[in-house]
Amino acid sequence: MIIETIVFYVLAVVTVASGVMVIASRNPVQSVLFLILAFFNSAGLFVLMGAEFLAMILVIVYVGAVAVLFLFVVMMLDINFSELRAGFLQYLPLGAIVGVILLAELILVFATGSIDIHVPEVVTVAMPPAAEVSNTKALGNILYTRYAYLFQGAGFILLVAMVGAIVLTHRRRVEVRRQKIAEQVARDPKAAVVLKDIKSGEEGTWKSD
Amino acid sequence: MAEPSVWSDYILPLLLIIGYIAAIVVPILLVVAVVVYGERKIWAAMQFRKGPNVVGPFGLFQVVADGLKLLMKETIIPTGANRVLFIIAPMIMFTLGIVGWAVIPFDAHLVLADINVGILYLFAVSSLGVYGIIIAGWASNSKYGFLGALRSAAQMVSYEVSIGFVLVTVLLAAGSLNLREIVEAQKGLWFFIPLAPMFIIYFISALAETNRTPFDLPEAEGELVAGYQVEYSAMAWLLFMLGEYANIVLLSGLCVVLFLGGWLPPFHVEPFIWIPGVVWFIAKTAFIIFLFTWVRATLPRYRYDQLMRLGWKVFLPASLAWVVITAGAMHLFGWMP
């Protein structure tokens, strides 16, 4: 238990510290890298809680995909650091208010015990020992039964967002020559290649006939 | 109930784990050296050359000589570079090539961490690989390095998607996320037969994921000099190379676990089951690595738009369709494990 406690405090401290560094570091690329560190340590915390599936998904989705795109964008942008920091104090009150509201909401939710995750009713049907049912299976059992429609709904919302982003940014440029592989493959060598027998010393005629 | 003691509760397990880790990492590094040597010999044979043949018998110590040379050289850090990130990048690359081995089962009971989400862990590790490259490219503060890093980021993220669907099909067929159970599910039939298209997609995506020819655009030497590696020298470059090869061996090992029955012999009859499972595992992995080498000796490099087309317009729909087909067939015929 001692080891787990030590690991918990190490992970928690690093998570919070890198969270602070995300907003405190001067260079936006370093901010994103600290954000990645924070994600990573949160994944460690999930593992400590026995939620290994969530931990892996956090690493795969947030660290492996979302943060890569963040990094991509931040590296490409030409950001004036001093300009960015000039507005810091101006936005501080607003940010603080948002933070306080979120904190108050979280406290309300947890204190009143209104989180109803329906785990008891689903699991008590045939309570398997915690060691036997992996939490991947447990999550699947809840997501695809009780929350099937909400889950599918969330999926559709993401799909619509993705299609929307593609529609907004995609434009077909006429001046670009595109490779049409089917056309290339369908070409007939007889129509495309002409064999000419050119005698040495004679001038060849390059007109295709 | 025995008295809890610091020695037997904490220190001994810790030392044991360190011992296990060393027992995996050291052979992996040796294997990487052998792979580098073997690769050069295979290319040489395919191109009618002799390959390394001067240092040691049959040039066997060429790798050692190269490694020593790189260790002795001076590590140069460019003036405009971000020093910390510049040093960290090759370390990330190397570490990620090694940590994946924690969950690979070499034999029925020969696995360091027999965790429930082994396949997700490997997917997570391989999805982190892009950071080594993108940080290296950005930190070296060079045009070529940065262009290489951008290409690589786009390429690895694209092919990760189809690898994800391949993994989904395999775990549908095996009914488990645990790599040992996935291998055991292949007792009757190795998955590369029923899931042949996914095997091919996995292999090609693995080529793209490890930045190997024909998808080695991040380091395309004709246009980008060496891409993200352009500013690296000596030890740091050596770490990049070791990481790259360790990653190739890792993805080959994963391929064996997912599709070629891991440590299982091809037939459960007499002469085959005498050979220990580790030998089968190594032999199959070596075969996949040979395929990697063969491809590199044979194929020219893809153009960037062709690479993206293949990833998004061919592999993604194909693997998605195969997930649906597999799931549908398993549901319809009651093959659910």
Q: Which of B121, B134, B146 sits opposite A56 (nearest CB)?
A: B121
Q: What pLDDT score was predicted for residue A102? A: 93
How close is the nearest chain B Cα to the Cα of A60, in Å? Answer: 5
Chain B interface mutation, best of A34, A49, A56, A159, highest count of B Cβ atoms under 10 Å = A56
Q: What pLDDT score was predicted for residue B137? A: 84
Residues of chain A positioned with their CB less than 8 A from the CB of B131? 36, 68
How close is the nearest chain A Cα to the Cα of B115, in Å? Answer: 9
For residues B160 and B206, is the Cβ–Cβ distance under 8 A?
A: no
CB hemisphere CA count around A148 (13 angstroms):
4
Question: Pick the residue with more confidence: A132 or A77?
Answer: A77
Please answer yes or no on whether B120 and A60 come within 8 Å at the CB atom: yes
Please answer yes or no on whether A3 and B124 come within 8 Å at the CB atom: no
| Residue B258 predicted with pLDDT over 50 | yes
For residues B47 and B297, is the Cβ–Cβ distance under 8 A?
A: yes
Q: Which of A29, A33, A56 sits opposite B124 (nearest CB)?
A: A56
Q: What pLDDT score was predicted for residue A154? A: 93
DSSP string computed for B51-97: -S-SSSGGGTTHHHHHHHHHHHSPPP--TTS-HHHHHHHHHHHHHHH
| Residue A26 predicted with pLDDT over 80 | no
Instruction: Tell me the two tokens of residue B215.
Output: 């998808």
Among chain B residues, CA nearest to A67: B131
For the stretch B87-126, pLDDT in tens is 888 888 889 888 888 888 888 787 787 788 888 888 888 8
Among chain B residues, CA nearest to A55: B121
| Residue B34 predicted with pLDDT over 60 | yes
Please answer yes or no on whether A65 and B121 come within 8 Å at the CB atom: no
Q: What pLDDT score was predicted for residue A85? A: 65
Minimum mean pLDDT range among A76-80, A172-176, B2-6, B132-136:
B2-6
Please answer yes or no on whether B124 and A60 come within 8 Å at the CB atom: yes
Q: Which of the listed ranges A103-112, A175-184, B320-329 does the model predict with the highest average pLDDT? A: B320-329
Asked whether the CA dihedral B10, B11, B12, B16 is positive or negative, the reply is positive
B1 confidence band (pLDDT: 50, 70, 90):
very low
Instruction: Tell me the two tokens of residue B153.
Output: 């980021």
pTM: 0.82
| Residue A175 predicted with pLDDT over 80 | yes
Q: Which of A69, A71, A136 sits opposite B177 (nearest CB)?
A: A136
Q: Which of B115, B131, B306 sits opposite A52 (nearest CB)?
A: B115
| Residue A157 predicted with pLDDT over 90 | yes
For the stretch B187-204, pLDDT in tens is 878 888 888 888 999 999
A72 at B interface, C-beta within 8 A: yes
Q: Which of A33, A72, A179 sits opposite B153 (nearest CB)?
A: A72
Residues of B in CB contact (< 8 Å) with A are 10, 85, 115-117, 120-121, 123-124, 127-128, 130-131, 134-135, 138, 146, 150, 153, 157, 160, 177, 305-306, 309
A152 at B interface, C-beta within 8 A: no
Q: Which residues contact A39 (CB under 8 A, 6 or more apart)?
A: A58, A59, A62, A63, A67
Q: What pLDDT score was predicted for residue A15? A: 92
Please answer yes or no on whether B177 and A71 come within 8 Å at the CB atom: no
Instruction: Tell me the two tokens of residue A59.
Output: 């690493």
Q: What single letter denotes the amino acid at residue B65?
A: A
For residues B243 and B194, is the Cβ–Cβ distance under 8 A?
A: no
| Residue A119 predicted with pLDDT over 70 | no
Distance between start and end Cα atoms, chain B: 40
Rounded to whole angstroms, the Cα distance separating B137 from B157 reads: 16
Residues of chain B positioned with their CB less than 8 A from the CB of A37? none
Q: Which residues contact A6 (CB under 8 A, 6 or more apart)?
A: none
Chain B interface mutation, best of A2, A21, A75, A79, highest count of B Cβ atoms under 10 Å = A75
How close is the nearest chain B Cα to the Cα of A53, in Å? Answer: 7
Distances (CA, A) of B246 to A13, B19, B212, B298: 32, 20, 13, 22
Please answer yes or no on whether B127 and A134 come within 8 Å at the CB atom: no
* pLDDT, mean of residues A169-189: 83
CB hemisphere CA count around A187 (13 angstroms):
9
| Residue A124 predicted with pLDDT over 50 | no
Instruction: Tell me the two tokens of residue A56.
Output: 């892996």
Q: Which residue has the tokens 């000039």?
A: A86
Residues of chain A positioned with their CB less than 8 A from the CB of B10? 2-3
Chain A interface mutation, best of B91, B92, B116, highest count of A Cβ atoms under 10 Å = B116
Among chain B residues, CA nearest to A66: B157
Average pLDDT of chain B is: 84
Distances (CA, A) of A150 to A102, A146, A156: 23, 9, 10
Residues of chain B positioned with their CB less than 8 A from the CB of A68? 130-131, 134, 153, 157
* pLDDT, mean of residues A39-65: 86
Q: What pLDDT score was predicted for residue B317? A: 92
Residues of chain B positioned with their CB less than 8 A from the CB of A3? 10
* pLDDT, mean of residues B304-333: 88
Q: ipTM of the predicted structure?
A: 0.79
Rounded to whole angstroms, the Cα distance separating B183 from B258 reads: 7
Q: Which of A59, A71, A72 sits opposite B124 (nearest CB)?
A: A59
For the stretch A76-118, pLDDT in tens is 776 666 666 666 677 888 888 999 999 998 888 877 765 555 5
For residues B126 and B160, is the Cβ–Cβ distance under 8 A?
A: yes
Could you tell me what percent of chain B has a pLDDT over 90? Answer: 6
Q: Which residue has the tokens 């948002």?
A: A98
| Residue A50 predicted with pLDDT over 70 | yes
- Which ranges of chain A does DSSP label H, i.e. alpha helix? 2-24, 28-48, 52-57, 67-76, 81-86, 88-111, 119-123, 135-143, 148-169, 181-186, 189-192
Q: What pLDDT score was predicted for residue A127? A: 46
| Residue B224 predicted with pLDDT over 90 | no
| B110 beta partners | B107
For the stretch B155-165, pLDDT in tens is 888 888 888 89
How close is the nearest chain A Cα to the Cα of B35, in Å? Answer: 28
Please answer yes or no on whether A59 and B127 come within 8 Å at the CB atom: yes
Please answer yes or no on whether B127 and A64 come within 8 Å at the CB atom: yes
Residues of chain A positioned with their CB less than 8 A from the CB of B177? 134, 136
Q: What pLDDT score was predicted for residue A125? A: 47
A123 confidence band (pLDDT: 50, 70, 90):
very low
Q: What pLDDT score was predicted for residue A122? A: 47
Q: What pLDDT score was predicted for residue A113? A: 65
